[in-house]
A and B are shown apart, each in its own frame.
Chain A
Amino acid sequence: MGQIFVYVFISCLLYLLVAVSFRTLYLVLKFIHIAHAISIALGAYFSYLFAIQLSLPLFLSIPISILFSIAFMLLLNQLVYNPLLKRRVEYWQMLIASLGVYVVMQNVISLIWGDNMLSFRTWPIKEGYQILGVFITDVQSITIIVCLLLVGLSWLFLERTSIGNKIKAVSSNPELAGIVGISKEKAVIWSIIIGSGLAACAGILIAADTDMKPTMGFNWLLYGVVAMIIGGMGKLRYLVFGALLLASAQHLSAYYLESKWMNATAYIILIVFLYFRPYGFSSQPLKKAEI
């Protein structure tokens, strides 16, 4: 039973990381940016490219792959999202466009690296350490530390730095922010750097623990989005609640039923939860339009 707590804790942190990364983008973009799944997958696949195919050392290839993923998403923003936004495309249409981007990129990845599971693990799989009666592996402990660190840092960034405040200003009222001289484009660029960077880290952590598939980003992104919806758009602590609820429901279902039902549990939790609390824990609606 203690082992489940470890699993719940790790999943919760990973969901939280994905949810935070997604939320940073959602604050300014205001649509479900499905192509965010690509930055999760790209983080993992770039590390595979650098660490295995080009056989660079791991400590070099991980930062490079994070940078490459960020650069790619910035390019995507420049080439696809900006022209669309200039034509005053509505938010739901942006969602469809980002779905299109996701479909294209996911297939490009599977054309380049194939559909098989890959792993950039070069180290042998070791038996975990035993702490207080539970087993925990190296990768898992690194995951825990990195997740806590990144979530904390991104929170500090959003709350304490001037760029973070600008992002929040653009999020709450783009026109007014423009009047006082805060450029929306800069805020978008910063949030893409932070959001995609965090997502790429999440992708690398996931791939280091298990393995990677071209479609891996989509599932993880959806878990993050579900955690965000359950939590609501309010403060960070609500996101933690959301991620915790999702992770514990999934692992309990895996414990009592079978692990194959984990996916369905996530969405059943979402649907049941939304029936009672349509705006999540924080009861704060995503957008102002409320019918």
Chain B
Amino acid sequence: MDYILHLGILICIYTILAQSLSLVAGYSGQISLAQAGFYGIGAYVSALITVNLGFSVLLTLPLAMILSGIIAYIVSKVAVKTVDDYYIIITLGIQVVIFSIMNNWQEVTRGPLGIPRIPSFSIFGLEFDSKISFLLLSVGFVVLVWFILHHLTKSPFGRVLRGLREDEVYTKSLGKNVGNYKVVSFVISGMLASIAGVLYAHYISYIDPSSFTINESIFILSIVIIGGMRKLKEIFFAAAFLVILPEALRFVGMPSSIAANMRQIIYGLALILVIYRMGSKQSIPSAS
């Protein structure tokens, strides 16, 4: 039973990550590979502050969000100056920089040793230390993020983002400041991703840099693409599918050393297939 609850919590965390990425990748059309970086910032900021200073999560959560917001702002200020191909390399770059700070700045983050004994999530003396209560808490956060994204994308702001994704020049000709919209959506996405990091740190109670690698970013991007870029509900199902997949492989009786690779092979293949299917929908040749 605990095991199923554990999977449920993981699905919630990945849903938050993928849905927040969907705002950037699906709506404003910027493929970002930095999501695991912001996830890591959330986890590390909250873990370091609660372990070293003993502050409450109520304080660390906004702090983590603000810090990842600031970093997302700086990155996207540079990134909006460039076009799509550079964009993905820049986000990948910031992912590597964040990872190597977590991995190498050993005085603060303890490097590969990680941070153990992170206290459990507690608000106003209410401790979420059992699995079932934490699952409820994560579901609460998923609903919150979902609510924010749903309303944001239905709002005029979301309409501009969609227009930007379809035709950037045209959106600009309507007098919209395209760059600003991109920056704002990226900052919001980074801040929401750090919520998932805070949840993860207090749930697992031990974090190390290996949870926030570039592979994790690719994994989150796959969830978004397999789920269908901007369909929030389908992204939830895709997250559930990709989280349960390795467990299913284990049930089939595959040794865990092969299962880790098989899981990645399967989602790599899924990526190619999804792109293949995307192609058929656009029968009209793109204007060049």
- Residues of A at the B interface (CB closer than 8 Å) are 31-32, 80, 83-84, 87-97, 99-104, 106-108, 110-111, 175, 218, 222, 225-226, 229, 258, 260-261, 263-264, 266-268, 270-271, 274-275, 278, 285-287, 289-291
Contact = CB atoms under 8 A, between A and B. Distances in A.
B104 A261 contact: yes
Contacts of A260: 100, 103-104
A103 B288 contact: no
Nearest to A285: B83
Given A96-B225, A107-B264, A88 B88 contact: no
Contacts of A278: 81-82, 86
A286 B278 CA distance: 25
Contacts of A110: 261
B279 A89 contact: yes
Contacts of A92: 29, 31, 84, 88
Most buried by A among B82, B178, B270: B82
Contact of B97 (A106, A107, A267): A267
Contacts of A263: 96, 100
B175 interface: no
A30 to B, nearest CB: 9
Contacts of B83: 285-287, 289-291
Given A104-B269, A107-B268, 11 more contacts: A80-B272, A88-B283, A91-B84, A99-B221, A100-B270, A100-B275, A222-B96, A263-B100, A271-B97, A287-B83, A291-B178
A175 B97 CA distance: 40
Contacts of B103: 260
B265 A107 contact: yes
A287 B97 CA distance: 27
A286 B85 contact: yes
B288 to A, nearest CB: 7
B235 interface: no
Which label, helix, strand, loop or mixed, suits the secondary structure of the B interface?
helix
Interface residues of B, number: 53
B280 A274 contact: no
A286 B85 CA distance: 8
Which label, helix, strand, loop or mixed, suits the secondary structure of the A interface?
helix
B172 interface: yes
Contact of A271 (B90, B100, B265, B286): B90
A263 B74 CA distance: 19
Contact of A100 (B85, B101, B272, B288): B272
B288 A175 contact: yes
B275 A270 contact: no
Nearest to B267: A103
B261 to A, nearest CB: 4
A32 B89 contact: yes
A103 B279 contact: no
Nearest to A268: B97
A104 B288 CA distance: 32
Nearest to A270: B93
B278 A89 contact: yes
B161 to A, nearest CB: 15
A55 to B, nearest CB: 27
A103 B168 contact: no
Contacts of B92: 222, 267
B251 to A, nearest CB: 20
B139 interface: no
Contacts of B269: 100, 104
Interface in B272-286: 272, 275-276, 278-280, 282-283, 285-286
A108 B265 contact: yes
A83 B278 CA distance: 12
B271 interface: yes
B59 interface: no
B58 interface: no
Contacts of B262: 107
B218 A99 contact: yes
Contacts of B268: 99-104, 107
Interface string B165-197: 000110010000010000000000000000000
